[in-house]
Structure 1
Amino acid sequence: MMESMKIMIVEDNASMRMGLVESLRREGFEVHAFSDGESALKFFKQKPLPLVITDLKMDGMSGMDVLEQVKTIQPQTAVMVVSAFGTVDTAVHAMRKGAADFLTKPFSPEELRFRVGRLVEKIRQEIILTRLKEENELLQGELLRSYGAMIGTSQGIKKIFNLIDRVALEDSTILIEGESGTGKELVARAIHQKSNRHDKPFVKVNCGALSENLLESELFGHEKGAFTGAIKRKKGRFELADGGTLFLDEIGDISQAMQVRLLRVMQEREFERVGGEDTIAVNVRIIAATHRSLSKMVQEEKFREDLFYRLRVIPISLPPLRERQEDIPLLVHHFLNQYAGTRGQSSKQISDEAMETLKKHTWPGNIRELQNLIERLCVISENEIIDDAMINQHITGPSKSLMSGFENLPLEQALEAFEKGIIMAALKKSNNIKNQAAKLLGIPTSSLYYKMEKFQLL
C-alpha cells in the first residue's frame, strides 16, 4: 500500500468523481473531492494539500483556472490535469502553467494508480529534501551568526565567539595561535567584520610563502628601480591596508631582520618603501597568526621577545578539532552543502555509523583536513549516502587511501587528487612545517606554497 497522502479531486462528473475517490482510497490516500473549482479552492486556501487532481473542462471555473490558482496559493503543490479532450497542445499548455502531469480519459485504475504513485514518490522526496534544507539552514543560521564561516556549538568555539565580540571594537594587536587548519584566518576576518574598520580593507599576507626580500617588498612596497625588475612604484600591504586590518599569517616564519623592521613599524606606525626615502604613516590594526609556539621560539632566541609582546597584546588560542568533537556533524553537513552548492547538485548524506567514525578521528590537519576529506568523498562516492566503509577507506592513513577511488576519475582530476593527497601526507608527516614538507617532497618551499594555494590547503 502506498504511503498515505492527502489528495484533492476536482471533477464535475459525479460518477467519474466517485470512481477516482474509491480508487485512491483503496490505496490508502485521504481524499477530499469537490464538484467545482470554486468550492475546491475555498477549501484549499484554508488547507493546502500536496496533490490536486482536476478535470480540465468543467462548468464555471475550468481546470486550467484551478491549476493557476493552486500554484499561486501553494507553488509546491503538484497538480495533475485530467481531460477527455486531451491534445498535445493542451498538455503542453498545462505543463507550462505548472502541471505535474496530464492524464487523458479514458484511463484504467491501474494507469491512475501508477501516475499518482509516481507523483506521490516525487512529492515525498521533495518534502524530505525541503525539510533537510530547512533544518540545515536553521542550524547554519544559528551557528554562522555574525562569525562568517565559523561553525560550532562546543564550549571551546563559543569562548572564541565571545572573545571575538569583546576584542573586535578595540584596536589592540591580536595574536591568533593554533594548529594548521583550525581557522585562524576565519577568526581574523570575523574580528575585522565586527570592528569599526569593517568598511575598510582586510589585507592578508602569508609571511611563510615569501622569501625575505619578496616579503619586504610585499609589506612595505618599493620605488621604481629599487631592484632588478622594479619597473614601477608599488604600494605595499601596509599602505593598502591603511584604515583597515592587516593580517600577518605565519608570522613565526619571518627572519630576524624582518622582525626588526616589523617591530619598528608597529612602534612608530610609519615606514619607508624599499629604495625610497619618504616616510609613510599608516593607521592599521595588525592581527597576526601562527601555528608555531612563539614563546618557545623566544626561549630559543629565534623570535624577538619585544616583538612577541608587541604582537601578543590579545592572545587567542584556537582549539584543535579533536577537542571539538560535538562540532564535527555541523561541519560535515556544512561542507556537504557547500560542495553541492558549488556544483549545483543535491547534497550527499552521511550515515550515522560514518559520522561516529569521523567523530572518533584525531584530525591532525583539523578543519582543513575534514573539509578536504568531505570534498574527496563527494567526488569519489557514486552513492547518495556516504557509509562507514568508504569513510574508513579514506581516513585510515595516506598509505591506504591515497589512490583509493581515483581509478574511476578522469586522468587530470585523478592526478590532481593524488598530488593533493601526497602533499597532505607530507604536511602531516612534518607536523605542518612547510620547509620540512618541501624537503620530503623534493621541491622548493615556494613551489609547495604555490601548490598548497592551488589545492586550497593554506
Structure 2
Amino acid sequence: MQDGKVLVIDDNKSVLSALEILLQFEFKQVATIPNPNQISSFVGLDTVDIVLLDMNFSAGINTGNEGLFWLREIKKKAPHTSVIMMTAYGAVDLAVKALKEGATDFILKPWNNEKLLATIKSAYLLRKSRKEVQDLKQKERHLKQVINQDSNYIIGNSKALNSVLNLVRKVAKTDVNVLITGENGTGKELIARELHRTSPRKNEVFIGVDMGSISETLFESELFGHTKGSFTDAKEDRAGKFEAANSGTLFLDEIGNLSLQTQAKLLSAIQNRTVVRVGSNKPISVDIRLVCATNCNLNQMVNNGVFREDLLYRINTIHIEIPPLRERDNDVLILADFYLKKYGAKYGKPSLRINANAEEKLMGYRWPGNVRELQHTIERAVILCEGNVLKPEDFLLTSNSVISLEKGPETLDEMEKLMIAKALEEHNGNYSAAANQLGISRQTLYNKIKKSNN
C-alpha cells in the first residue's frame, strides 16, 4: 500500500464507489467529491498526491472544457499535485490540451483496472519526485542563507573607507572580475562579501577559498573537482569550488601565493569559464563572479617573472585597494568601541569604557596588523582588565609580528619570524620564492605565518 492521498472528483456515484473500492487497498487515504464546486472548500487540497478528475459534469456537454477549467483551478491551489483526467469521450486533441494545461495523464472510461492502477502509481511517483525536488530547493535556499550569513560588519565612516565602499557599490552591479589588495588584516574578505551582498547574485552562494592553504597536489581537485577513482582517496565524485560557486561569487584569497604551474591552470578555467574534473575529460560550464585578493604587489611579481601577466589582466578588471587602519582617521576609535561592546557582552563585562588617555594611545599606534590586530588587542584588554575603565596600560601594543632589527631576536620563535619576514621582503611577498630560499615548502611557510599571526 502506498503512503499517499487520492482525491476522486466525478458526478457519477457509481464511478466514485468503484474507484474508492479499487483504490482503498492501494493508498492509505482515498477521498471523493461528486461536485467540482466543492474543490474550493476541500481542506488540504495541496496535500493530495493524486486527483482523478472527470472532464464533463453538465448533461449533454462533452467538450471537456469544464474539466479543463477545474484542472486550472486545482493547479492554482496545488501546483505540485498530479492530476489525471477521466472521460468517456476520448479525443487526441482533448488529451493534448489537458496535458498542456498541466495534467499528468489521461484515462478513458470504461477503464482497465490494471492499466488504471499503473497510471495512478506512475503519477504518484511523479508527485513524490516533484515534492523531493521542492524540498531540496527549499533546503538549498536555506543553506545559501546560512552560508552567506556573516557576523562581521564593515565599521567606520572615514573618507578613505567611504571611497572604497562607493567603488564597491558601483562595481557590484556588474559581473566584472575584481582584485582586492591591501595589507594583512585590512578586511579584504569583508569587502568581497560586500560586493556579493550588493550584487544581483546576492541570493546565491558566496564561496571563499584560501589559496595559500591548498597544496599544489590538491589544487585541481579542490578547485575543479574529481571523479570517483581518479586518485587513491577519490571514493566518490566531487564538485570543486568553481562548480559549488556556480551562479554565485567565488572569492580566491591569497592569489599571489600560487606557483606558476597552478596559475596556468587557474587562467584556463577563468578564460573559458569551464572546468574539467580530475579523472574526466568532460568540460563543465560555470557561471561565477570572480573576486581575488592578495597583500602582494602583483605588478612587481610580474616584473620578477613569478606571476603571469595574462592572469593579472584577467583578474584585475577592477582594482580595489583597501586602506590600512592608520589611514582611516577616527575609524580606530569607532572600531575599538564596536569590539569593546562585542567582547564586553561575550565576557560578562558590558559596562566597560575606554578613557581619553587610552584612546590617544590607540590613535597614536600605527597598527601594522590593522583591524585584525585591533580586534585582538581589544579582546585581550577586556579579558585582562580588572575595573570598568580601560586605561593605556591595559593595551599591550607591542606587535608580535614586528621585531626591532637593532635589538635583534631574543628567542627561536623571534628568529624564525625575522627570517620569514626578511625572505618575503626580498622576494616582494612571493611565498614560493621565499619558501625556496628558506629551504621549506610553500605550505610549511604559509602554516608558520598563520601560526605567528594567531
**TM-score category by the smaller chain?**
0.5 to 0.7
Counterpart in 1 of 2:223? Answer: 219
Match of 1:396 in 2: 398
- The equivalent position to 1:291 in structure 2, one of 281, 295, 301, is 295
Give the equivalent residue in structure 2 for 1:236. 240
- 1:162 CA drift (Å): 0.5
TM-score w.r.t. structure 2 length? 0.58
- Please tell me whether residue 165 in structure 1 is matched to residue 169 in structure 2: yes
- Superposed CA deviations along residues 348-388 of structure 1, whole A, max 9, x for unmatched, are 21111111111111111111111111111111222221101
Judge conservation of contact 1:256–1:303 (CA < 8 Å) in 2: yes
Whether the aligned pair in 1 keeps the contact of 2:257 and 2:431 (CA below 8 Å) is no
2:36 matched to which residue of 1?
A: none
Of the three residues 382, 385, 392, the one matched with 1:381 is 385
Closer, same or farther: CA 330–199 of 1 in aligned 2, 3 Å: same
Report how many residues are paired.
294
In the alignment, residue 173 of structure 1 is paired with which amino acid?
A: N
- Take 1:356 and 1:178, find their aligned partners in 2: how far apart are those partners? 25
1:225 Cα offset (Å):
1.6
1:314-333 equivalence runs, <5 A: 314-333=318-337
C-alpha deviation, 1:445, in angstroms? 5.8
Alignment of 1:153 with 2:157, yes or no, is yes
Of the candidates 183, 198, 206, which is equivalent to residue 202 of structure 2?
A: 198
Aligned counterparts, 1:4-403, within 5 A: 149-391=153-395, 394-398=396-400
Kindly provide the amino acid, as one letter, of the partner of residue 397 in structure 2.
Answer: I
Q: What one-letter code is carried by the residue in structure 2 that aligns with 1:362?
A: R
Change (3 A) 1:374 1:427: farther
Q: Is the 8 A contact 1:197 1:245 kept in 2?
A: yes
CA contact (8 A) 2:227 2:238 kept: yes
Could you give the per-residue CA deviations for residues 261-294 of structure 1, whole angstroms, max 9, x where no partner exists?
1111111110101111211000001000000000
Q: Could you say if the C-alpha distance between residues 422 and 245 of structure 1 is closer, same or farther in structure 2, counting changes exceeding 3 Å?
A: farther
- CA 1:444–1:262: 2 relative to 1, 3 Å: closer
Runs of 4+ in 1 over 2 A off after TM superposition: 340-345, 396-401, 420-457
Report the Cα distance in structure 1 between the residues aligned to 2:452 and 2:341, rounded to whole angstroms. 19
Inter-partner Cα distance in structure 1 for 2:285 and 2:228: 20
1:399 CA displacement: 10
SS of equivalent to 1:395: coil
Change (3 A) 1:188 1:293: same
In structure 2, how many angstroms separate the alpha carbons of the residues matched to 1:231 and 1:421?
43
Deviations along 1:44-81, one digit per CA (max 9) or x if unpaired, are xxxxxxxxxxxxxxxxxxxxxxxxxxxxxxxxxxxxxx
What amino acid is the match of 1:334?
A: F
- Give the Å deviation of 1:194: 0.5
Q: Is the 8 A contact 1:427 1:433 kept in 2?
A: no
Judging changes above 3 Å, is the alpha-carbon distance between structure 1 residues 345 and 208 closer, same or farther for their aligned structure 2 residues?
A: same
Q: Which residue of 2 aligns with 1:85?
A: none
The separation in 2 between residues aligned to 1:282 and 1:162, in whole angstroms, is 29
TM-score (norm: length of structure 1): 0.58
The amino acid of 1:175's aligned partner reads L
Please tell me the root mean square deviation across aligned C-alpha atoms, in Å.
3.4
SS of corresponding position for 1:232: coil
Deviations 1:217-266 (A, max 9, x none): 11111111222211111110000000000000000111111111111111
What is the one-letter code of the residue matched to 2:187?
G
Counting aligned pairs with the same residue, the percent is 41
Q: 1:398 to 1:260 in 2, by over 3 A?
A: closer
Closer, same or farther: CA 344–442 of 1 in aligned 2, 3 Å? farther
Quick check: 2:250–2:289 contact (8 Å CA) kept in 1? yes
Closer, same or farther: CA 399–448 of 1 in aligned 2, 3 Å:
closer
Do 2:212 and 2:443's aligned partners in 1 also have CA atoms closer than 8 Å? no
Cα contact 1:173–1:310 (8 A) shared by 2: yes
Give the Cα separation in 2 of the matches to 1:330 and 1:441: 40
SS for the counterpart of 2:293 is: strand
Cα deviation, 1:396-422, whole Å, max 9, x if unaligned, reads 344999xxxxxxxxxxxxxxxxxx999
Tell me, in whole angstroms, the C-alpha distance in 1 between the residues paired with 2:402 and 2:215: 36
Greater Cα radius of gyration, structure 1 or 2: 2
Deviation at 1:390, TM superposition (A): 2.4
Segments of 5+ residues of structure 1 without an aligned counterpart are: 1-145, 402-419
Question: How many Å apart are 1:343 and its aligned residue?
Answer: 3.6
- Whole-angstrom CA distance in 1 between matches of 2:287 and 2:170: 21
Structure 1 pair 195–339 and aligned structure 2 pair: CA distance change class (3 A): same
**Which moved further from structure 2: 344-353 or 157-166?**
344-353
Q: Which amino acid aligns with 1:306?
A: D
Letter in 2 for 1:383: G
Cα distance in 1 for partners of 2:437, 2:267 equals: 33
Q: 3-state SS of the aligned residue for 2:270? A: helix
Matches of 2:433 and 2:354, distance apart in 1 = 35
Q: Could you tell me which amino acid in structure 2 is paired with residue 199 of structure 1? A: N
CA distance in 1, matches of 2:183, 2:193: 18
Q: 1:425 to 1:190 in 2, by over 3 A?
A: farther
Contact 2:301 2:430 in 1 (8 A): no
Structure 1 residue 389, shift from structure 2 partner: 2.0
Q: What's the secondary structure of 1:225's corresponding residue? A: coil
Question: 1-side partners of 2:305 and 2:438: how far apart?
Answer: 29
Answer yes or no: is the 8 Å Cα contact 1:168–1:194 preserved in 2: yes
